Amino acid sequence: MPNKILQIKNLTTEFTGDNSSLKAVDGVSFSIEEGEIVGVVGESGSGKSVTSLSAMGLIPSPPGKITQGEILFTKWDGTTVDTTQRKADSLRSIRGNEMSMIFQEPMTSLNPVFSCGDQVAETIVLHQKLSGEEAKTKTLELFKKVELPRPDIIFDQYPHQLSGGQKQRVMIAMAISCNPKLLIADEPTTALDVTVQKTILELLKNLQKETKMGILFITHDLGVVAELAHKVVVMYKGKIVEQGSVSDIFNNPKHPYTKGLISCRPPLNVRYSKLPTVPDFMETGENGEIKSKLNSISEYLSNITVSKDIRKKAHEKLYLKSPLLSVYNLKTYFPINKNFLGKTTSWVKAVDDVSFDVFPGETLGLIGESGCGKTTTGRSIVQLVPISSGKITYKGQDVYKMNKKEMSSFRKDVQIIFQDPYSSLNPRQTIGKSIVEPMEVHKLYATDKERKQQALKILTKVGLKESDFNKYPHQFSGGQRQRVCIARTLAMEPKFIICDESVSALDVSVQAQVLNLLNDLKKDFGLTYIFISHDLSVIKYMCDRMVVMNKRGKIERYGECDEIYEDPQTEYTKSLIDAIPKINTAE
């Protein structure tokens, strides 16, 4: 019989503030057996990460405190300890050694002033008492095990020199360096390309089989859990609402929250007029109990399904118009090496001979892995990076030959929404000021009062409150901050918006809400989009046509989304489709 390596019993973790207390985790109980992968899923704020930090003894005190329950961890030697009763000093011998953790954002988890190899070797020296040379040898072996290219070179490189997927592999190497019995992975694939995500998931599965360790895998994406885990724990507002085997949870979900999470990911086999969201499935009663809002989920989904004939007729009408924006043979190169005379001798061909049209009212998708040039293409269009050659026209005018007045009009008409809403907003500026400021720059509306009235109107349009006008970015969730960025963009009254990975780091439920919002705004304001993403399921839902770009900065496929999905033709396009997590759990 497998041994239980982690038993969480009736865990409650609270955070106290000024005359208030919040139960981030409220009476949670579940266990992990040796060699088992348990997926914990839920939206931001559901208590997933606090549960894992409680298990590791990493809750900051104050303001946090475990007020109830036991966390029993069984070590390799067979002894069991209750981590809630151990002091920080005694937990250090367990953390990183027998119980380790991979955090969500590797860039903030790795020290920027030490090389990647030294950071992993330091962990080995600390816990296994090896010499520096022995630790380096073991680190190189670990880098090979996690399939990092050129381990000897990466050993001496710093975190900023690696891609997101490579940094995550370094974190995995560090986490498994001491052969832990339990590995906690907290959103380790969020915001990674679907292809990189797939390789990370396969790597974790292979390591788990090889070492027999247990894995606690935390994510908001049920598709990822379906591919990786043996058992699923669904959390909502600090409580477990459902748990069981992957097959049971996905094939026969009982709780409306679980049903909502499963349904809000963009499907690949059908097209919906709008994505289902969690509030469509459940409501909270007067006594706080959760009630189901739908009698028949299949009937609800059937009512929002769009037929291929309807889409075909809409496209025929759409493509009778003249293109709003055209890109001709675009090349954007970046110099990497120069000779002693200062002449460039080699280039990175970020975008290499790319051409496409975007029609009024269309959403065109740009898809590909990191480094394929899709973001550079978007930035080249709005002149955030200079092009090497080619031509970009907007309403028939060459963008790179516009005079000052024409360029001012172009910059007002064509806006961009960036991937990270937090870094896009000034932390010292209220969101009201962030929305009003672009109107002042472009002299929209006659007075400050009119500009404020318009900002308040836009805030309510994107699903925020007028009272949010005087709040700061840190007072909002990720999804709310993205709505602020959308509001700031709409303040310019644009005609054309480039969405650059604008939902990639959001919970799938929040992602569905933002995608629905973008589509609603498109209809209300007559907008045209370029939608940049690495996730083909999102592109297929949002877009009329797509441009598939490969890592050489070239176009791999260009055409209607449904046609490309049904007939990928090239191996690269097929690999993007195959990498999408699919909920297929029938035994």
- The pLDDT of 408-420, averaged and rounded, is 88
Q: Which of 71, 8, 512 is nearest to 233 (CA)?
A: 8
Both 292 and 372 in a single domain? no
- The pLDDT of 397-406, averaged and rounded, is 92
Last residue in a domain, options 177, 206, 230: 177
Q: Determine, yes or no, domain membership for 404.
A: yes
Q: Determine, yes or no, domain membership for 241.
A: yes
Is the pLDDT at 2 greater than 70, yes or no? no
**Which residues, in sequence order, are CB contacts of 312 under 8 Å at separation 6+?**
none
Q: Determine, yes or no, domain membership for 488.
A: no
pLDDT on residue 296: 81
Q: For the segment 68-127, what is each residue's pLDDT rounded down to a tens digit?
A: 999 999 888 888 888 888 776 667 778 777 888 887 766 677 888 899 999 999 888 888
Domain count for the chain, please give it.
4
Q: Determine, yes or no, domain membership for 449.
A: no
Instruction: Rank 292-296, 410-414, 503-507 by mean pLDDT and report only the highest.
Output: 410-414
- The pLDDT of 165-194, averaged and rounded, is 82
- The pLDDT of 29-53, averaged and rounded, is 90
Residue 536: band (very low, low, confident or very high) from pLDDT cuts 50, 70, 90: confident
pLDDT on residue 88: 64
Is the pLDDT at 1 greater than 60, yes or no? no
Measured distance CA(47)–CA(35) in Å, rounded: 24
- Both tokens of residue 432? 């009201």
**Average per-residue pLDDT in the chain?**
87
Is the pLDDT at 330 greater than 50, yes or no? yes
Both 86 and 204 in a single domain? yes
Q: For the segment 468-503, what is each residue's pLDDT rounded down to a tens digit?
A: 999 988 888 777 888 888 889 988 889 999 998 888
Both 519 and 378 in a single domain? yes
Q: Determine, yes or no, domain membership for 453.
A: no
Report percent pLDDT > 70 for the chain.
Answer: 97
Last residue in a domain, options 306, 338, 370: 306
- The pLDDT of 185-198, averaged and rounded, is 78
Residue 585: band (very low, low, confident or very high) from pLDDT cuts 50, 70, 90: very low
Q: Determine, yes or no, domain membership for 586.
A: no
Measured distance CA(412)–CA(85) in Å, rounded: 59
What is the residue range of 26's domain? 4-98+179-252
pLDDT on residue 191: 63
Both 142 and 51 in a single domain? no
pLDDT on residue 267: 85
569: enclosing H helix or E strand: none
Q: In terms of DSSP bridges, do strands 182-186 and 363-367 run parallel, antiparallel, or are they unpaired?
A: unpaired
Both 197 and 336 in a single domain? no
Is the pLDDT at 587 greater than 50, yes or no? no
Q: Determine, yes or no, domain membership for 380.
A: yes
Instruction: Rank 200-204, 277-281, 358-362, 551-555 by mean pLDDT and report only the highest.
Output: 358-362
Structure-model confidence comparison of residues 217 and 83, the more confident one: 217
Is the pLDDT at 419 greater than 80, yes or no? no
Both 320 and 405 in a single domain? yes
526 neighbors 444 (Cβ within 8 angstroms): no
pLDDT on residue 198: 84
pLDDT on residue 586: 44
Measured distance CA(386)–CA(330) in Å, rounded: 11
- The pLDDT of 203-213, averaged and rounded, is 84
CA distances from 342 to 245, 337, 347, 386, 391 (A): 62, 9, 14, 19, 27
Using only C-alpha atoms, the chain has a radius of gyration, in whole angstroms, of 25
292: enclosing H helix or E strand: strand 290-292
Q: What is the CATH number of the domain that holds 78?
A: 3.40.50.300
- The pLDDT of 396-410, averaged and rounded, is 92
Measured distance CA(271)–CA(445) in Å, rounded: 40
Both 133 and 161 in a single domain? yes
Q: For the segment 114-165, what is each residue's pLDDT rounded down to a tens digit?
A: 999 999 998 888 887 788 888 999 999 888 888 787 888 889 988 888 766 7
Both 15 and 53 in a single domain? yes
Report percent pLDDT > 90 for the chain.
Answer: 37
pLDDT on residue 322: 93
Is the pLDDT at 584 greater than 60, yes or no? no
pLDDT on residue 246: 92
Last residue in a domain, options 128, 162, 177: 177
- In this structure, of 18-22, 52-56, 509-513, the range with the lowest mean pLDDT score is 18-22
Both 223 and 165 in a single domain? no
Instruction: Rank 221-230, 333-342, 374-383 by mean pLDDT and report only the highest.
Output: 374-383
Q: What is the dihedral of CA 175, 178, 184, 190, to 10 degrees?
A: 20
Q: Determine, yes or no, domain membership for 49.
A: yes
Both 199 and 295 in a single domain? no
Both 155 and 144 in a single domain? yes
Q: Which of 542, 574, 107, 112 is nearest to 365 (CA)?
A: 542
Both 183 and 321 in a single domain? no
